Structure 1
Amino acid sequence: MAWFLVEITYVQEKMPDVRPRHREFLSKLAAEGRVAVAGPLGDGTGGLTLYQADDEAHLKETIDQDPYFLEGVVAERSIREFKPVIGAWIPQES
């Protein structure tokens, strides 16, 4: 499994109506352990999510099902692999 940091920029006028479905989608993934943290940027222009997935192809399959993506809220999206090494939530290597 790998970690990926996904940043999106919103189409502002579409975002408020879709937000409840987007948050429900992310909450389900968080309950499955596939989302570590997610939230909007302070300026409201977009958001960041830290996902865990088998690989980037699996991640794209997952995030392409996000209501924000399906309903045209995502103006831009970037995906970068992330290698966390410090943090209270990171499992300790044995």
Structure 2
Amino acid sequence: MKYFAVFLPMKDEGKSKELRAAHLAYLEEKEEEGKIFAKGRFTDGTGGLVIYQAADFAEAEELAKQDPYVTSGARECEVHEWTMTLAK
């Protein structure tokens, strides 16, 4: 499995608030499937980040684009392959 960092920049704060429960339910479902490594919001209110675990870029992009925030247009979606480096 590879890791993919998905930035979810804010486009519509009102829509984001309305869809928060659906977004969190979607992420919970993907966590149960073993598709999420980490997730969280940016404290400055500009959006959030999800790190998906997927076989390839296409799978990660598909997962990211199915998020209710993205399908509704509340958030943009930027997918980047990510290599984790641990301090020794």
Give the TM-score of the pair, scaled to structure 1.
0.83
Runs of 4+ in 1 over 3 A off after TM superposition: none
What is the RMSD computed on CA atoms of the aligned residues? Answer: 1.4
Q: Counterparts of 1:8-47 in structure 2 under 5 Å?
A: 8-10=8-10, 11-47=12-48
Q: Which whole-Å deviations, capped at 9, do the CAs of 1:54-83 have from their partners, x for residues lacking one?
A: 111111111211111111111x32211111
Identity %: 34
CA distance in 2, matches of 1:56, 1:79: 8
CA distance in 2, matches of 1:77, 1:51: 13
Q: Which runs of 5+ in 1 are unaligned?
A: 88-94
Give the TM-score of the pair, scaled to structure 2.
0.88
The equivalent of 1:85 in structure 2 is 85
Residues matched between the structures, number: 86
Q: Which runs of 5+ in 2 are unaligned?
A: none
Q: Which has the larger radius of gyration?
A: 1
The CA deviation at 1:8 is: 1.1
